[in-house]
Amino acid sequence: MRGFVLVPAIGAVMGLAFWAYQENYTTQAAQSDAEALSREIGALRERLALLDAEWAYLNRPSRLAELTELNFDRIGLQPFAPSQFGSVDQVAFPPDPTELIVDGIIEARGELRPDQEGEAQYP
Amino acid sequence: MIRTPLRPLARILAARASGADPDAIEAENLRQRNDARRDDLRVRAEGRLFVLVLCFLGAFLTVGVRMGTLAASEAEEPRLAAAGEAIVATRADITDRNGRLLATNLDTHSLYAQPELMVDPARAAQDLARVFPDIEADALHRRFTDGRKFLWIKKKISPEQMQAVHDIGEPGLLFGPREMRLYPNGRLASHVLGGASFGREDVHSAEVIGTAGIEKAFDSYLRDPGLAGAPLATSLDLRVQAATRTVLDGGMKLLNAKGASAVLMDVRTGEILSLVSLPDFDPNDRPQPLGTGDQSDSPLFNRAVQGVYELGSVLKIFAAAQAIELGLVNQNTVIDTSGPMRIAGFPIREFRNKNYGKIPVSEIIVVSSNRGTARLALQIGAERQREFLRRFGFLAPTELEMVEAPTGRPLYPARWQELSTVTISYGHGISTSPVHLAAGYASLVNGGTRVRPTLLRQPGPQQGERLVSESTSRAARDMLRAVVTEGTASFAEVPGYKIGGKTGTADKPRAAGGGYYEDKVIATFASIFPADDPKYVLVVTLDEPQETTGEKPRRTAGWTAVPVASEITRRVAPLLGLRPTVEATPLAGLTPIASRSGD
C-alpha cells in the first residue's frame, strides 16, 4: 500500500527536478541571448547615430545649394517662389478611363528574332 | 482504549464487605481519568505552540536573513532590465523644429603618447609632423624626450589620420576613444548653437560641455542621462534659416555692410524661426574670443541678441500706438509737425530738414516724422511712455534660452526727462537688440498680447498679458502697411504677400563718445507679414550699409535693409507655407504628376 504512493511520488519529484533543471538552463540561454541582442541594439544605435550624422552632413543646405548649382543644366532647380503656388481649378481632370478601354480586335505585326542565347525575344 | 469503569463491581463489593467507603473508589477513579485527560490536552497544546513557534521563527529568520543579505551583498542591476530602457550616456542631439539635426555626437579618437614606451621618438616626431601639418617635428621631439611620461598630441583625429598614425608603427603612440560634438550644418545657426568643448578628460573618455549659446544654456539638460537622449527641439527651421542666411549674406556683401542680423519670429508663439548674425563662425571649430579691441567685431558676437543699438525710427510706431491706446489721438488726428521745435534747448529736426506741415498720425508714421512723434510723446508723458516700453520688454534683457541673452541689456537713460521722452519716441537715446524689437513688434501686431521670444519649439500660442487693445493693434498694422504701400519702405513689396513695416536709420554713436558719425548708420527694417493678419515678424539690421549704384552713396534703410528684408520674405514665406493672396503670375497649367497607389 505504501509503495503505491511512494513510487509515483518519487517519480514525480524526479520529473519535476528534471523539468526545473531544464527550465533553469533555457532561462540562462534566453538571458545570454537577450544580452547579446541588447549589445547588438547598442551597436546598431551607435551606427544609426553615425549614419544620421552623416546624412545630416551630406544634406546640409550649403552642400545641396552647391549641388543644384553644379547640376543646374540637368535638373534646373530654383528656390521655391511665391508664383509656384497653384490653385485647385488649375489642376486638369484626369482623362476619362473608359476612353482607354480597348474593345474589338487589334492586329499587331512583328518578327520573332532569336537572340544570342537562342531564345525568342519580343521586340 | 478500554475505558476503566468508575465503580468496578468487584472492588465495590470487596469494599462493602470490608466496610470501606465505595465512593472513595469512584472518586479515585474519576481523579485518575481527569489526570489522564489533562495530560493529553497539555501535550496537544504544547504541540500546537511548538508549531506556532516554528512558524514565527521561520518567518523572522526569513526576514532577518533577507535583510542580512541585502545589507551585506553588492548592489546589482537586474540582468535583463537594462535592455529595454537603455541609459544613454551621450550628450543629447539638438534638432530644428522638424527634427533635422543641428548638433549630434560622433565617435572619434584622441591621440596621446607615452614616451617611455617609445622605440624611436625622433622618427615618430618626424612622421607625426607629416600626418599633422600643424605639428612641428622638433618641438614634438623635445617634448618626447624631456622625461615626461604622458602627453596629449591631438584631442580629435579622423579615421584616416588614425590609420596614418597606426602605420607609423610606434608602440608609444596610443589612441583613446573620444566623443566629439558635430554640427553638420556648419556655419548655419552658429550663434544659436554656440559650441562645445571638452571638460574633464582622461584617456578613456572626456566630458563634452557646451561653451556658448543654447549648448551652454541647456548643458545640464543635454547631459541628463535620465532623459534617454531625447533630442532638444529648437524653434528654428533649418530651411528658413538657410534661406535667410544666404540672402542676408548676399545683401550684406552687396551693400558693403560690416555686419548684419535677421530675426524671424512667430507673432503668436514667440518662436524664433530664424536668427542670423553675420559675420558668423563654424561651431565645429569655434574661434578664440578677441584678445583686444571691440568684441562686437568678433564673429562670435551675436548682433541679434547681444548687440544693443539705437534702432531709430522703427520705434515710432510704439509712440503712435500708445497715443491711440490712451485715446489721445486716433489715426486721423492732425498733428502740426512744422518747426522749429526745441526741447530743453535741443532742436528736433526732420530727416534732411524737411517740413511736413500739418499731417494726420498715420502720415507721421508713413513719412517718419520726428517732430510728429515728438509731439505725440509730449502728450503721453515720460512716466507713461517708460511704463509702456517696459511692458513691451524693451527695458530688460530678453529671456531667450542662450547664455548670451542677459548680456543684451538695453541701454536707456536713468533719468527719463522730457528730452529723453522725445528722442526715445523716435528711437534715439534707447538701445535695444533686434530680438527686443522683433518681440515688441510681435506683441503689438498680434492683437495686443505680450509674447516672449523663445528658441524652443512651443506647443501652441502664448497667452500673454494684454498690452494694447485689439483695435489699437489693428490701427498699428494699418499704419505699418501704409509705410510699405506709400511710405519709406516701398521696396518691401512682395507680390502676393501684404507686407507692413517700419524703417529705421540711426547714426552710429562714436565709439570714443561725443556725438554721432556722419557717414555710419545702422539701417533697420522691422516688417510684419501678412499685414492684415500677421503671422511673422522679420527684423533685418545692417551695420554700416552703403548703396553705391546712385550718384551719392545711399544709406537709409529704405535703400538698404528694406530690399534685403523683401528678398528674405520672398524666399521664406513660401517655405513657411504662406500662400500668396493674389497670383503673381498666372500659370499656364500645372504639370500633372502621375501618382500610383502602392508606390
Residue B493: phi, psi to the nearest 5?
-60, 125
Question: Do B402 and B305 touch, CB atoms closer than 8 A?
Answer: yes
d(CA B402, CA B420): 31
Q: What is the mean pLDDT of residues A93-112?
A: 76
Q: What is the pLDDT of residue A90?
A: 76
Question: Do B524 and B314 touch, CB atoms closer than 8 A?
Answer: yes
Asked if B574 and A37 come within 8 Å (Cβ–Cβ), the reply is no
User: Given CB atoms, is B596 within the 8 Å cutoff of chain A?
Assistant: no
3-state DSSP of B51-109: HHHHHHHHHHHHHHHHHHHHHHCCCCCCCCHHHHCCCCCCCCCEECCCCCEEEEEEEEE
Residue of B nearest to A82 (CA): B574
Q: What is the pLDDT of residue B347?
A: 84
Instruction: Compute the nearest-CA separation of A91 from chain B (Å).
Output: 6
**Residue (of B197, B289, B185) closest to B246 by Cα position:** B185
Q: Which three cell numbers stand for residue B555?
A: 544709406
d(CA B198, CA B211): 9
Q: DSSP 3-state assignment of B531?
A: coil
pLDDT of A122 over the 60 cut = no
Distance of CA B344 to the CA centre of its chain: 44
Cβ neighbours of B596 in A, within 8 Å: none
Grid look-up 482607354 returns A100
- The pTM of this model reads 0.77
pLDDT category at A85 given cuts 50, 70, 90 is confident
**Residue (of B217, B211, B214, B111) closest to B166 by Cα position:** B111
Grid look-up 552658429 returns B190
Asked if B83 and A52 come within 8 Å (Cβ–Cβ), the reply is no
d(CA B266, CA B235): 10
d(CA B561, CA B545): 8
Per-residue b/e over B328-337, b at no fewer than 16 CB within 10 Å? Answer: ebebeeebeb
Amino acid at B244: T
Asked if B79 and A31 come within 8 Å (Cβ–Cβ), the reply is yes
Asked if B592 and A41 come within 8 Å (Cβ–Cβ), the reply is no
Asked if B589 and A61 come within 8 Å (Cβ–Cβ), the reply is no
Instruction: Compute the nearest-CA separation of B367 from chain A (Å).
Output: 29
pLDDT category at A105 given cuts 50, 70, 90 is confident
Across chain A, where does the E strand assignment appear?
113-114, 120-121
Question: Do B78 and B116 touch, CB atoms closer than 8 A?
Answer: no
Question: Do B274 and B263 touch, CB atoms closer than 8 A?
Answer: yes
Residue A15: phi, psi to the nearest 5?
-60, -45
- Count Cβ–Cβ pairs < 8 Å, chain A vs chain B: 92
Asked if B186 and A87 come within 8 Å (Cβ–Cβ), the reply is no
Q: What is the pLDDT of residue B470?
A: 92
Q: B395: which residues sit within 8 A by CB, 6+ positions away?
A: B386, B389, B410, B412
- Other Cβ atoms less than 10 A from the Cβ of B422: the count is 27
Identify which has the larger pLDDT, B561 or A93. B561
Q: What is the pLDDT of residue B30?
A: 92
User: Given CB atoms, is A92 within the 8 Å cutoff of chain B?
Assistant: yes
Q: What is the pLDDT of residue B83?
A: 46
Q: Measured between alpha carbons, how far is residue B2 from residues B5, B159 in Å? A: 9, 101
d(CA B437, CA B450): 13
Q: Please state the length of chain A.
A: 123
Asked if B246 and A52 come within 8 Å (Cβ–Cβ), the reply is no
User: Given CB atoms, is A60 within the 8 Å cutoff of chain B?
Assistant: yes
Q: What is the pLDDT of residue B261?
A: 94
Q: What is the pLDDT of residue B599?
A: 38
d(CA B318, CA B437): 11
A112-A113-A115-A119 Cα dihedral, nearest 10 degrees: 40
Mutate to test the interface with B, among A58, A63, A83 (most CBs of B within 10 A): A83
Cβ neighbours of A33 in B, within 8 Å: none
Asked if B185 and A62 come within 8 Å (Cβ–Cβ), the reply is yes
Question: Do B436 and B249 touch, CB atoms closer than 8 A?
Answer: no
- Other Cβ atoms less than 10 A from the Cβ of A101: the count is 7
Q: Measured between alpha carbons, how far is residue B447 from residues B129, B269, B533, B571 in Å? A: 64, 13, 9, 26
B552-B538-B426-B386 Cα dihedral, nearest 10 degrees: -160
- Other Cβ atoms less than 10 A from the Cβ of A86: the count is 15
CA distance between the termini of chain A? 91
d(CA B302, CA B238): 18
Asked if A65 and B496 come within 8 Å (Cβ–Cβ), the reply is no
d(CA B523, CA B423): 17
Residue B35: phi, psi to the nearest 5?
-60, -45
- Other Cβ atoms less than 10 A from the Cβ of B44: the count is 10
Q: Measured between alpha carbons, how far is residue B244 from residues B252, B459, B524 in Å? A: 12, 24, 16
User: DSSP label at B554?
Assistant: B
User: Given CB atoms, is A29 within the 8 Å cutoff of chain B?
Assistant: no
Instruction: Compute the nearest-CA separation of B583 from chain A (Å).
Output: 7
User: Given CB atoms, is B87 within the 8 Å cutoff of chain A?
Assistant: no
d(CA B180, CA B185): 15
User: Given CB atoms, is A78 within the 8 Å cutoff of chain B?
Assistant: no
User: Given CB atoms, is B413 within the 8 Å cutoff of chain A?
Assistant: no
CA distance between the termini of chain B? 95
Cβ neighbours of A52 in B, within 8 Å: 101, 104
**Residue (of B521, B545, B508) closest to B253 by Cα position:** B545
B104 vs A34, A53, A82: nearest CB: A53
Q: What is the pLDDT of residue B47?
A: 95
pLDDT category at A123 given cuts 50, 70, 90 is very low
pLDDT digits (tens, 9 = 90+) for B272-303: 999 999 899 999 888 888 777 777 788 899 99
Question: What number of H helices and E strands is found in chain A?
Answer: 3, 2
Q: What is the mean pLDDT of residues A86-104?
A: 76
B101 vs A52, A80, A84: nearest CB: A52
Flag residues of chain B having pLDDT under 70: 1, 77-89, 582-599
pLDDT digits (tens, 9 = 90+) for B565-598: 999 999 999 999 888 876 545 555 555 555 444 3
